[in-house]
Structure 1
Amino acid sequence: MTTVRDLSPTGAPPVRSGALLAALVLAVAGYQINATMLSPALPDVIDRLGTTSGAAGLSQTLFFLFSAIGQVTLARLSDYAGRRRMLLATLAAALVGEAVCALAPTIEVFIVGRILQGVSAATFTLAYLTLHETLTPQKFGRALGIITAVNGGIAGVDLIIGGWVADTVGFRGIFALTGLITVIALVAVYSWVPASAATTGRMDWRGAALLGAGLTGTLLALNEGSVWGWSSPATLALLVGGVLALALFAVAERNNRDAIIDTSVLASRSGWPLLLTTIFTLAGVFGMLNFTIPLLTQTEGAGYGLSATTSALLYLTPASALGVIAAPLVGHFGPRIGWRRSVLIGSVGTAAAMVFLVLFPQSPVITCAALAVLGVTYTGYMLTALNGLAVALAPEDKPGSLPGLNGACFGIGASLGFAVASSVVTTVSSGGPPTADAFQAALWSSGCFVALALMTALLIKNPNKHN
């Protein structure tokens, strides 16, 4: 294990950086495998709990929704309660959620467990903040890349293991496995993550409640609108209520010294272009990679007609594996060339790869090659650089505000991308089996999001001290 010899930017004492990084990798891995391992096991969930695909899909929607809410609220709360304490609390919530899902007799109980697990997404932002406050800038960049590599998936192995466990043991075995990893992470965080100093002030619970209500309403409306109907009373009520709550949130935060989000940062070109870049990037790539591509590669006639395992091995695993390799390298060079420049490199590369996916969706070879490029440009460059830039641009008196909000934008973008891609495929296919035209249209919609991300990335104004 190595020890940090130099003081961090915050003047923190030396720590064992190897042990610290190992503990944080375990912490974020607990959330990540909860997010990915269950995907191939959803049919088993439907069968064993006697539920519908809509209810199972809702459990996934709420999982990512509360991932977004947890990122923004718990990161800010950690400014007052301390990073280590919030990491332990978040992991404890995940462990309870895993136990609930493993023992769930009904889909309703299962959904409660998924909500608790979703909150643990805050481990990513808490890990970034802990590393930034503890390590030197050079060591922070490398560690950030390693943590972000986990965010892109465990080299695709998690998906394969999830499918195998579902086929042999059932979905409950997945939560037994993730629960064991969470227990190990709790012990590691307790043993190796140092306590951090807390800032003065008090948590903005009113702002947190309004923000949570706003995100819940708008994201649920976007995710369920294609199922319930975009003009249905339920969809409209959620959308209007969510927008109203977000408007009230903006008013309430205007002159609040302890605001959960620094509105001055949001209004600056250091804030809103970064957040929009995150949303548009995730919307473009997540919807394509986690919805359109699996359908395209597995659909007979209109697609490639592959099995789920073959599809994952050929089209998802290579991109994830390359991201695991690229992200630490990006983290190493990010502080040297600048996080903003790294974002631009990743954005240009991601847009270039999307061009080939949009123009040649019926070519298995070109699709595979383009997805492999995305493993470097998206998983490696974009995810790492966006997180690094959010930490670097955060106000010194509210270090958890911008990273937490940026983390929430990951969830918002993912939900938006999934909702748009699924709606496009359903609409173009006229409610029937997916068609080649539907896949083409969905890829075009994803490409438009990526193009918007490139435009907003160019607008990010990076202060000189962060160049």
Structure 2
Amino acid sequence: MTTVGDPSPASAPPVRSTALLTALVLAVAGYQINATMLAPALPNVIDSLETTSGAGGLAQTLFFLFSAIGQVTLARLSDHVGRRRMLQVTLVIALVGELICVLAPNIELFIIGRSLQGVSAATFTLAYLTLHESLSPQKFGRSLGIITAVNGGIAGVDTIIGGSVADSVGFRGIFLITALITVIALVAVQFWVPAGGTSAGRMDWTGAALLGVGLTGILLALNEGSSWGWSSVPTLALLVGGVLALALFAVAQRRDRNAIIDTSVLASRAGWPLLLTTIFTLAGVFGMLNFTIPLLTQNSGAGYGLSATMSALLYLTPASALGVIAAPLVGHFGPRIGWHRSVLIGAVGTAAALVPLVLAPQSPAITFVALAALGITYTGYMLTALTGLAVALAPEDKPGSLPGLNGACFGIGASLGIAVAASAVTAASGGGPPTASAFHAALWTAGGFVALALVTALLIKTPQSEKN
């Protein structure tokens, strides 16, 4: 194994890069498998817990919502307590959530378990920060591609296993598998990840609370508005309360020296266009892949009528498998052709791949080809390039600021996309079983988000290092 010095404390022992990368892959896999493995089992969750597609969508929405909150708050907290300790905390939280879902007798407890699992998305930002602090620039790019490849799933094997487990023993078996992986990751992190330096100051808990309340209110309103009524008191209360909390959050961040979000980064063209591109991209693709496609392909009336296993094998696995191949290559060549250019290539490719799917969702063959193409354009190019560009555009005195925000936007975008897709299906179905037109409406929302991502990608500032 090769070793590189850890630039944090001068007296720290050298880091074994292969062991470090292995531990971080296991850590992020614990979160990512919880996201991808459940997708083909979503209909089984709905049937087993005797609930609705709207409630199933809410569980997914809150999973990704809390992933956004976790990435901002826990990544910032790691500055004070150390990267390794924060990784361990997030994995323990995920383990508790997995055990709750194994035992959940109803959708309410299942939603609580999924929300706790979502918090562990902070492992991604913590992994990026740990790699950036511990590895040489050359190794960082390659390691970034490998970690990002996991963000699209484990070569599609996880979705196949998820579908097979759902068909044979039910969704609870999935969480027993992910719990075992989480335990292994905890051991690997303890032995192979450096503690990391700590900084002075205090954690901005007020800002974290306001951010959590604001995002939760808005996304819950979007998810439940079609069933509650868009003008109903609960929907309006959540929307108004969420917006007010975010407004107070913005004010508090300007006044707090220990703010969890650097507002100067948000205001620049190095910040807001990149963050919006991430949100819109994830909203379009995740809403489609993790909600609409599993329901469409397994619905016997308005869809393809496949089993969970066949749905995963034909429509979720190709994108994941191709992404595992493409992402490390993008990580290798990204610094050479430029992260900004890589983002533009990914944005154009993702939009092009989604067009036939939106126009002809009734064709299983077209759906298969479109989703396979997304494995290269989205999982390979966009996820890797967006993360690499966030690192390249971050201020030199605050290297973790933009990557942390961008990581949070992954969760915000995913939860937003699922909330909107679930709302579209519920509204177009008129309260009954999902219809073909309902699935088509949800796919159109995905196409709209991806189109917005293409526009905002053109507005991102090119890093100074790529202008020459």
CA 1:109–1:314 in structure 2 vs 1: closer, same or farther (change >3 Å)? Answer: closer
* Structure 2: unaligned runs, 5 residues or longer: none
1:137 is the counterpart of 2:126: no
Residue in structure 2 matched with residue 89 of structure 1 by the alignment: 89
Q: How many residues align?
A: 466
CA 1:231–1:310 in structure 2 vs 1: closer, same or farther (change >3 Å)? Answer: same
Q: How many angstroms does 1:300 deviate by?
A: 4.8
Q: How many angstroms does 1:107 deviate by?
A: 4.1
Residue in structure 1 matched with residue 285 of structure 2 by the alignment: 285
Q: How many angstroms does 1:392 deviate by?
A: 2.6
Residue in structure 2 matched with residue 463 of structure 1 by the alignment: 463
Counterpart code for 2:363: S
Q: How many angstroms does 1:42 deviate by?
A: 4.3
1:313 is the counterpart of 2:338: no
1:61 is the counterpart of 2:64: no
Residue in structure 2 matched with residue 265 of structure 1 by the alignment: 265
Residue in structure 2 matched with residue 250 of structure 1 by the alignment: 250
Q: Distance in 2 between matches of 1:98 and 1:87?
A: 17
Q: How many angstroms does 1:211 deviate by?
A: 0.9
CA-to-aligned-CA distance 1:297-351 (integer Å, 9 cap, x gap): 3445654443333222222211111011111111111122221111111011111
Q: How many angstroms does 1:228 deviate by?
A: 2.0
CA 1:163–1:354 in structure 2 vs 1: closer, same or farther (change >3 Å)? Answer: closer
Q: How many angstroms does 1:161 deviate by?
A: 1.4
Q: How many angstroms does 1:170 deviate by?
A: 3.6
CA-to-aligned-CA distance 1:225-259 (integer Å, 9 cap, x gap): 22222222111111110100000111111132211
Q: Distance in 1 between matches of 2:132 and 2:117?
A: 25
* Structure 1: unaligned runs, 5 residues or longer: none
Residue in structure 2 matched with residue 70 of structure 1 by the alignment: 70
Per the normalisation by structure 1, the TM-score is 0.92
Residue in structure 2 matched with residue 359 of structure 1 by the alignment: 359
Quick check: 1:98–1:175 contact (8 Å CA) kept in 2?
A: yes
Q: Distance in 2 between matches of 1:417 and 1:115?
A: 16
Counterpart code for 2:113: G
Report the RMSD for the aligned CA atoms in angstroms: 2.4
Q: Distance in 2 between matches of 1:175 and 1:289?
A: 20
Q: How many angstroms does 1:56 deviate by?
A: 4.3
Quick check: 1:79–1:399 contact (8 Å CA) kept in 2?
A: no
Residue in structure 1 matched with residue 168 of structure 2 by the alignment: 168
Residue in structure 1 matched with residue 186 of structure 2 by the alignment: 186
The answer to which of 403-412 and 355-364 deviates more is 355-364
Q: How many angstroms does 1:147 deviate by?
A: 0.9
SS at match of 1:254: helix
Residue in structure 2 matched with residue 221 of structure 1 by the alignment: 221
Quick check: 2:159–2:316 contact (8 Å CA) kept in 1?
A: no
Q: How many angstroms does 1:402 deviate by?
A: 2.1
CA-to-aligned-CA distance 1:422-441 (integer Å, 9 cap, x gap): 33344344444544444444
Residue in structure 2 matched with residue 147 of structure 1 by the alignment: 147
Q: Distance in 1 between matches of 2:54 and 2:436?
A: 24
Q: How many angstroms does 1:452 deviate by?
A: 1.0
Q: How many angstroms does 1:44 deviate by?
A: 4.8
Q: Distance in 2 between matches of 1:166 and 1:295?
A: 14
CA 1:50–1:346 in structure 2 vs 1: closer, same or farther (change >3 Å)? Answer: closer
Q: What are the equivalent positions in structure 2 for 1:337-376 lying under 5 Å apart?
A: 337-376=337-376
Q: Distance in 2 between matches of 1:397 and 1:391?
A: 12
Q: Distance in 2 between matches of 1:439 and 1:163?
A: 20
Q: Distance in 2 between matches of 1:421 and 1:74?
A: 28
Q: Distance in 2 between matches of 1:222 and 1:263?
A: 26
Residue in structure 1 matched with residue 445 of structure 2 by the alignment: 445
CA 1:117–1:438 in structure 2 vs 1: closer, same or farther (change >3 Å)? Answer: closer
CA-to-aligned-CA distance 1:391-446 (integer Å, 9 cap, x gap): 23233443333222212211221122222233334434444454444444433332
Percentage identity across aligned positions? Answer: 82
CA-to-aligned-CA distance 1:246-294 (integer Å, 9 cap, x gap): 0011111113221110000000000000010011111111222233333
Quick check: 2:57–2:223 contact (8 Å CA) kept in 1?
A: no
CA 1:361–1:100 in structure 2 vs 1: closer, same or farther (change >3 Å)? Answer: closer
CA 1:52–1:296 in structure 2 vs 1: closer, same or farther (change >3 Å)? Answer: closer
Q: Distance in 2 between matches of 1:103 and 1:432?
A: 29
Q: How many angstroms does 1:105 deviate by?
A: 4.6
Residue in structure 1 matched with residue 33 of structure 2 by the alignment: 33
Q: How many angstroms does 1:48 deviate by?
A: 5.5
The answer to which of 379-388 and 287-296 deviates more is 287-296
Residue in structure 2 matched with residue 198 of structure 1 by the alignment: 198
CA 1:290–1:63 in structure 2 vs 1: closer, same or farther (change >3 Å)? Answer: closer
Q: Distance in 1 between matches of 2:260 and 2:234?
A: 29
